[in-house]
Amino acid sequence: MTRLLLVAALAGAAVGCASTAERDPRDPWEPLNRGIYSFNDMLDTAVARPVASAYQKVAPSEVRLRVRNFFGNIGDVFIGVNNFLQGKFEDGVSDWARFAFNTTIGLLGIHDIATDMGYEKHNEDFGQTFGRWGAAAGPYLVLPIVGSSDVRDGIGWGFDFYTDPLNETKPFQARWGLVGLRLIQTRADLLDASRILEEAALDRYVFQRDAYLQRRRNLIYDGRPPREKEPDDEAGDKPQKPATEEKEMHDDPDQKPR
Amino acid sequence: MTRIRNLASAALLGASALFAFAPLARAQELPPDQLVKNVTVEVVELITKDREIQQGDRAKLIELIDAKVLPHFNFTAMTALALGHSWNKATPEQKKRLTEEFRTLLVRTYASALAAYSEQKLDFRPLRAKPTDTDVTVQVRVLQAGAQPVPIDYSMEKTASGWKVYDVMVGGVSLVANYRTEFNNVVRESGIDGLIKNLAAKNRRFEPGAAKR
């Protein structure tokens, strides 16, 4: 609760002082989002990054791989569910086969033998399922702690959280231990990426937001999104894109090819 | 969670994507997918074998990128695409400066990404294009243990001096498109000269030598 209040206060402060010349139509809540973004960043600098760095130093990469596989295996259950919900039965069966093989022969998932057997890991979640069903992304949204999202994915994240198999773990100490370890592992996997982001971006908030929106659109279409109309296509003397582009602002699942 | 991780690996690989190129004697005659494959394999081998680079010699890594990778990129096209409308409003001198600064920024970013490379396997996809095509997408997938493969798509255009890359998409994130909003925000606030200054300041801050942490 105190955390929520803190976020609200920060957000309020951000609304007060942000001088956004022109709002991006995809991000009408930018001042609020920026507030939450800097709160997350502060928390990350103070806690998550140091802990993840320490973990990376202490745990050999072999151990980290096993930890990653273990949580990845648990994730495959609902990746499969989401594939079924999206009507991709073959993929869903493959995800569950992964879970079956990795949990048994792969010793509770620490060995990803299913990949070697030809069952590729997928990336699905409820946000993608809703997108596939036709839900528009809605405004961009930065969630406290979770980070980049949008309205659709935020709701999706709620479902992901609610259906997280770790929720079933008892006693609760074990449950929070696992959740914590998964968080640390995830953050450790991101250490290089976040350093690169810092070097690459003029404005990290904008860079991360645009990458998120592009990435999610790509994921919803499983890597084959319809081409979108670039607002600036006619500009520039360089390469002419084919004339087959659809007129589309950014994230319009109505145009999905199915 | 996986979403964040995938986004991050996308960002990471996006940055690293350009490491994949090195010139070959007959580069001009090679079909684009062969070009990508040959130079990727060569550069990856060079960096994994070089002790100094492995120990974090950033200057040497950038030297390697300069020599092997840059000749296969059309930075003017990349800068033009990243700027969109504003490109046409720039003077030739401004275009030159912009391209230089953007190139420095990208090279440094690739260097960082490349330094993070740790023996992931690469899967070179067969090219889906007609022999007469002059604008193609070459697809490579980075396979990593315990995670979904990350696709890297090189948009390449045939020019008089061989095939040149003008955009890289990593995990569906176009590098060029991702800079567009940022660049246009700066241009709107402080003009094209403002953007040049902004990029130059950013580049100076991260120059090798001014090492962070």
Chain A 18-77, residues with CB within 8 Å of chain B CB atoms: 21-22, 24, 61, 65, 68-69, 72, 75
Please say whether the beta carbons of A21 and B188 come within 8 A. Answer: yes
Tell me which chain A residues have a C-beta less than 8 angstroms from the C-beta of B183.
Answer: 202
Residue type, A100: A
Between CA A163 and CA A15 the distance in angstroms is: 34
Please say whether the beta carbons of B173 and B10 come within 8 A. Answer: yes
Distances (CA, A) of B66 to A64, A118, B27, B104, B194: 34, 38, 16, 10, 27
Please say whether the beta carbons of A139 and A130 come within 8 A. Answer: no
- A19 — pLDDT class (breaks 50, 70, 90): very low
Residue with tokens 């193609």: B136
Between CA A119 and CA A76 the distance in angstroms is: 11
- Residue B51: CB atoms within 10 A of its CB come to 7
What secondary structure letter does DSSP report for A48? I
Q: Do A203 and B182 touch (CB under 8 A)?
A: yes
Q: Residue-wise over A194-227: b if at least 16 C-beta within 10 A, else e?
A: bbbbebbbbeebbbbbbbbbbbbbbbbbbbebee
- Residue B116: CB atoms within 10 A of its CB come to 16
Between CA A153 and CA A140 the distance in angstroms is: 9
Of B138, B134, B128, B131, which is closest to residue B158 (Cα–Cα)?
A: B134
Q: At what angle do helices A89-104 and A61-85 cross, to 10 degrees?
A: 150
Does A143 lie at the interface with B, CB-CB under 8 angstroms? Answer: no
- Among the listed ranges B107-116, B159-168, B170-179, which one has the minimum average pLDDT value? B107-116
The rounded Cα A138 to chain-centroid distance in angstroms is: 16
Higher pLDDT, B112 or A155: A155
Residue A253 is predicted with a pLDDT of 44
Higher pLDDT, A208 or B15: A208
Residue with tokens 């980049």: A148
| Category of B119 on φ-ψ map: left (φ > 0), alpha (ψ -120 to 50) or beta | left
Between CA B101 and CA B196 the distance in angstroms is: 7
Tell me which chain A residues have a C-beta less than 8 angstroms from the C-beta of B178.
Answer: 207, 210-211, 214
| Beta pairing, strands B162-170 & B121-124 | unpaired
| Beta pairing, strands B150-159 & B162-170 | antiparallel
Chains A & B: contacts with CB separation below 8 Å: 167
Q: Do A196 and B86 touch (CB under 8 A)?
A: no
The share of chain B scoring above pLDDT 90, in percent, equals: 25
- B131 — pLDDT class (breaks 50, 70, 90): confident
Phi/psi at A223 (5° precision): 85, 0
Does A245 lie at the interface with B, CB-CB under 8 angstroms? Answer: no
Between CA A143 and CA B173 the distance in angstroms is: 21
Chain B 37-96, residues with CB within 8 Å of chain A CB atoms: 74, 76-77, 80-81, 83-88
Q: Any long-range contacts for A149-154 (C-beta under 8 Å, 24+ apart)?
A: A149/A212, A150/A213, A150/A216, A150/A251, A152/A127, A153/A125, A153/A127, A153/A216, A153/B3, A154/A127
Does A163 lie at the interface with B, CB-CB under 8 angstroms? Answer: no
Please say whether the beta carbons of B21 and B39 come within 8 A. Answer: yes
Tell me which chain A residues have a C-beta less than 8 angstroms from the C-beta of B88.
Answer: 235-236
Of A44, A254, A74, which is closest to residue A179 (Cα–Cα)?
A: A74
* Domains within chain B, CATH numbers bracketed: 2-204 (3.10.450.710)
Alpha-carbon torsion (A30, A34, A37, A39), positive or negative: negative
pLDDT digits (tens, 9 = 90+) for A140-160: 999 999 899 999 999 999 999
Residue with tokens 């999104």: A225
- Is the predicted pLDDT of residue B29 greater than 90, yes or no? no
Alpha-helix runs per DSSP H in A29-88: 30-43, 49-58, 61-85
pLDDT digits (tens, 9 = 90+) for B55-91: 878 888 888 888 888 889 999 999 999 998 889 989 9
- A3 — pLDDT class (breaks 50, 70, 90): very low
* Strand intervals (E) in A73-213: 140-143, 147-150
Higher pLDDT, B208 or A222: A222
Of A44, A98, A42, which is closest to residue A72 (Cα–Cα)?
A: A98
ipTM of this complex: 0.78
Chain A 95-114, residues with CB within 8 Å of chain B CB atoms: 112
Residue A80 is predicted with a pLDDT of 94
Phi/psi at B210 (5° precision): -80, 55
- Is the predicted pLDDT of residue B201 greater than 80, yes or no? yes
Q: CA angle at residue A240 from B39 to B87, to 5 degrees?
A: 95
Instruction: Among B4, B113, B166, select the one facing A239 at the smallest CB separation.
Output: B166
